[in-house]
A and B are shown apart, each in its own frame.
Chain A
Amino acid sequence: MSPATRSLSRKRPSGRKALLATAMLLVAVASAFPLAWMVLSSLKTPAETMQVPPVWIPRTPTLEAYEKVAGVINVGRSMWNSLIIASVTTAGILVTSMMAGYAFAKYSFPGRSLLFSVLIATMFLPPIVTLIPLYRMVGSLGLSASLAGIIVPNLANAFGIFLMRQFIAGVPDDLIDAARMDGASELLILFKIVAPSVAPAIAALALFAFVYHWNSYLWPLTVLQGNADAYPIVISLSRLLSYNRGAVNTGLVMAGATLAVLPPLVLFVLLQRFFVDSIVGSAIKG
């Protein structure tokens, strides 16, 4: 090999590495940019948000916009509503999914695979398909314009059952049989013996459900019919935009968006391992 080609072949991998690193950096920057812009804009003065060309970094960061948000919407109340909706729904989903997942994984009964297929099919049904009759049904149950109306229809879902069945199927039968010998009831076995051995999957489902229902917009908007006392934060946010159209409200909108993004994003950063594992698990095993 001549010196020239050797240096070329040595250069190529490092050129490739530089190219890869550049591509990764570009993708990361493009991905992070909108949220970085959101936070930066929330700290700008009103004059800065309206400047053309745009100001990138606020010269004197101020929390003025956050104070104004608190003047337009009831932030505490909205956050509390979101917390109630997301946590009660999540708790319900965990219990119903674990029970049904256990039955599908560990019992054999007539019609098991048919019932499972029907339930799983609902996972692929866009919510708009059931929205109109569901809206009427919840109204006739006397639940419209209330938090209960948002929560009750979502206390069970197919994804949770699917995920729990996948993971509970991996729990050894011997473990369950031993507990039965000791006379433990099935519910006790599920919550005291099976649940701890699938704890990571339960954590993943809890996080998924919490974030999904914290973020959910269409159903709460439809049920609440303008009852602002029950608004979760994502619906209160929409009032910031209509509050004052145009560039004037940019800081306000960005501050509100930052507040709404914070809880799910913090949960994700703390617990992202579970999120990723469960997506990978459900995709591979499915």
Chain B
Amino acid sequence: MAKAFRASAGIMLAPAVTLIGVFVLLPMLLTVWLSFQDWSTQTPFSEASFVGFGNFNEIFGPTSVGRDFKTALLNTAIYTALSVALILPLSVVFGLLVYQREVAGGTALRTVLFSTYMVPMIAVALVWSKLYSPSEGPLNQLLGLIGIGPQPWLSSPRSALVSIVLLNVWQQVGYFTVLAIAGLTQIPGSLYEAATLDGANGREQFRFITLPLLRRTLLFSAVIAIINAVQVFEPVALITQGGPVGSTNVLTYHIRRVGIERAQGGLGSAMAVTLMLSLIVCVSALFAFVNRKDSE
């Protein structure tokens, strides 16, 4: 029966496949091709001339182009690692708070947490830039109440990137909490009952039942969190412009500046390809790690 619908399948698939083919897959292949070309973004693709690995040599080289790119790559790696390291544990803790049935209000908490995910990043950046304001912002005042001195937040190269990580975590953690809750609902209650009968306490149950059975969920969360983290753009473009002294220059911002604003399409594409390869390596390593744990 199914074979008779091959023509229908073509019609049903045509719009989506054409659009994704033309506007996602084709530009992706063009990015790879352009990374080996000398090309200005203001000229047609036909003006590109082949330079082999020239762009890659330059972005990893000792000149200012190379220095800026390597800083952006490192900043993005730090930003991503910190975001994931904060979001995953928090999402499990918050997920448990929402999921538990001892105290009412779990669903209300979920609503509050998830609502931040609806806020446009540009508004998040604007609001947090004011929260962080050293003198008239409320965060330093709150810290003062618990005896911690004023922090420079976005204005110091030592704390600016971490400050942006924090606003990112605030915005995203609700989404990952919902994912964690989805994982928690998949764990059969009978496992906990059996463990209680065997005399396992709450901490042991968390360590030997909850965490291992959340592994798949956490893997999925980690992949999404990484992909989201490398997209950080608005707070940098709007508030810090990559500074102070390059400390918040991250890849999405840097690639756009080089490839669009400075119209160095070849160099920008080489940077984009490097980002794509780094992501593939990271995600593959993560899968390999979890699969090895699974087979243990």
Give me the interface of A with B, judged by CB distance under 8 Å: 13, 16-17, 20-21, 23-24, 27-28, 30-32, 34-35, 37-38, 41, 49-54, 56, 95-97, 99-100, 102-103, 107-109, 115, 118-119, 122, 124-137, 140, 152-158, 161, 186-187, 190, 211, 214-215, 217-218, 221-222, 234-235, 237-238, 240-241, 247, 250, 253-254, 256-257, 260-261, 264-265, 267-269, 272, 275-276, 279-280, 283-284, 286
B127 and A257 within 8 A (CB): yes
B19 and A96 within 8 A (CB): yes
A214 and B6 within 8 A (CB): no
Give me the interface of B with A, judged by CB distance under 8 Å: 2-3, 5-6, 8-9, 11-13, 15-17, 19-20, 23-28, 30-31, 34, 41, 44-45, 94, 97, 100, 102-103, 105-106, 108-116, 118-124, 126-131, 133, 135-138, 141, 170, 174-175, 178-179, 181-183, 185-186, 217, 220, 223, 227, 230-231, 233-234, 237-239, 251-252, 255-256, 259-260, 265, 268-269, 272-273, 275-276, 279, 283
A-B contact count (CB 8 A): 290
B135 and A260 within 8 A (CB): no
* Other A-B pairs, 8, CB within 8 Å; known A96-B19, A211-B118: A99-B11, A99-B16, A100-B15, A128-B251, A130-B31, A137-B27, A190-B12, A215-B119
Taking CB as reference atom, which chain B residue is nearest A95? B15
A125 and B45 within 8 A (CB): no
Taking CB as reference atom, which chain B residue is nearest A158? B20
Q: Give 30 A-B contacts (CB < 8 Å), ordered by A residue.
A: A13-B102, A34-B124, A49-B136, A54-B141, A96-B19, A103-B8, A103-B13, A108-B2, A108-B3, A115-B17, A122-B25, A126-B231, A130-B24, A131-B260, A133-B265, A136-B44, A137-B23, A137-B26, A211-B118, A217-B233, A218-B233, A238-B238, A247-B135, A253-B126, A253-B130, A261-B119, A264-B120, A268-B115, A280-B179, A283-B183
Tell which of A115, A124, A218, A237 touches B256, judged by Cβ atoms closer than 8 Å. Answer: A218
B126 and A241 within 8 A (CB): yes
Q: Complex formed: what's the CA distance from A132 to B260 in Å?
A: 6
A155 and B41 within 8 A (CB): no
Question: Which residues on A sit within 8 Å (CB–CB) of B19?
Answer: 96, 153, 155-156
Question: Which residues on B sit within 8 Å (CB–CB) of A254?
Answer: 126-127, 130
With A35-B116, A107-B2 as known contacts, state yes or no: A135 contacts B94, CB within 8 Å.
Answer: no
A217 and B20 within 8 A (CB): no
B118 and A100 within 8 A (CB): no
Taking CB as reference atom, which chain A residue is nearest B183? A283
Tell which of B17, B124, B178, B233 touches A276, judged by Cβ atoms closer than 8 Å. Answer: B178
Tell which of A20, A125, A136, A190 touches B100, judged by Cβ atoms closer than 8 Å. Answer: A20
